Structure 1
């Protein structure tokens, strides 16, 4: 399994390479050069596995055993998920009228990001010990990523964590998760502006490969492929638990499962879309708040930022730059790096891009979007 940039300028990188990275050198985002297929027999064979076991099965499709042997991978995942507040790590809550909630909030910071973050940090620690090296993690956060990164990486030898959050735009609990950690390897800063404003200099930073290599810089935002990789397991596990795939007749079409995904930076909906591309029949609905760029993109082909980020009570998705949509566009456009590069460079330059009619139809066919009722601050 090798990885390439969504903008076509980089290819042939290993999982270890992309783990210790941020944006690709050409400004794109790393993706697997090929996606494995999950056929019905594979899905049936995984039915009944615990969430950590599903994570191991999914991760092993993308991490060659030459880099992390299967037994070591299992140990890393078990250790990463051992501190969650419920033994099953992820809990399925069945409500009325066929509605089910996949509870992803049982980690230390109560954010779904604790799941992928804890596993990714354990992968990092594995390689840091093996190679006797250091790394500096740089994280820009809209609220929950920073605290999750800190709780996962605090006190780890060989790893420094630098977190920047938008002053006055995170909840008091989120701020305390970041500012009350006294470990020597944790460094937290508040910046004026929104999380989108913070992302712009970070993108420029990771474009300077000499600086990145000389200081061992890397990202723990969902720019990092490992975060997306672990999030694939959320949707595979949900499908196994809820679709009744085991009742499907051999040769018959698998049942479809509708999944509603709260969406800000679009990392989780990108992971869901990748799982759909791997053969799992999901009907995906991206749910947004007043910062509705994903909704406008899917429904009208209007991939453009609003004049400002609207503050709501859902601070973690108060984002107008859903950077992981680049991964979705890359898949929708048949891995056409040149087209994605032109699209995203225009968006970064002008903060707007109109999808062509064909692109808009492709996007609308694969994703649905809706706006949630939200309270403004």
Structure 2
């Protein structure tokens, strides 16, 4: 009837408001919208919408010649669609790591392998009779581990009598180490140190007190060989890998030369004049046990000088004295000469000589001219099963 208002329907909206509404729709719902009517189909195929989805799900910024954004999304989905829930965060993590390695560790970057194919992953799964976790599979599609030579991608720890560096294994090498031993049943190695044999594993089933996806170091049980002990490093691959990369690119792990060292800064810094002393720690699973409880850590003590300090303040560590106290208040005194495992940072100096004392939980005696750091390691026993 004349004069009556026309009912408002969404399909009567102008193009711009409808495109704005469609921009909040996920790719599956957008495909369903295209089946509603001819107008919706035309709008749902708009290139700006699929460009946004390519960026969101696949981190794609460049459109190949002769390709459309909707076609690029479909092609990528056919290849990587099973990983769409985990691909973007893992891909971004790898991109962040690649950028860091290109800038700071080019020789380590050169050891990374290209991505594995679906055929390779299926062949490995058939060989071991287990399905790999989706996030691990996705990471392998991006980079299939690294070559077993030189420095390990997954970090190093060095003390006077021991040096470990863990490589990230490719899936074919990992398959060779797949274990059906009683204490490591259904465990696939993720990392390997060629010097020490230290390995991190991922559980492929809920067995032995572990949950599928758990990443762990195996801990030999000294009291009962039937018990499977483990140091849990991550509840799933994504958590384990992404946390490690955040620490690397965030410079929470020190970089010496082109080698990443897994010493975590504790935030404990002592300051005396222009000299700072900081402490970082690293867990040593290769020297640790759960039964009986015996956990080992390495301590890295680093001394630095304010770059704006006067040349008259430059110095060299002459002698050290530390008191290491565990949770049971057991005190151990560590002392000796200053220059141990030295990495020297030269600083302008003068002919003036003298001595500077830094006191806290111990003391340091300095003489002018050079600045360096010391690495100290010790062992302690405490607690029960732990998560690192």
TM-score (norm 2): 0.23
Q: Which has the higher strand share?
A: 2
TM-score (norm 1): 0.23
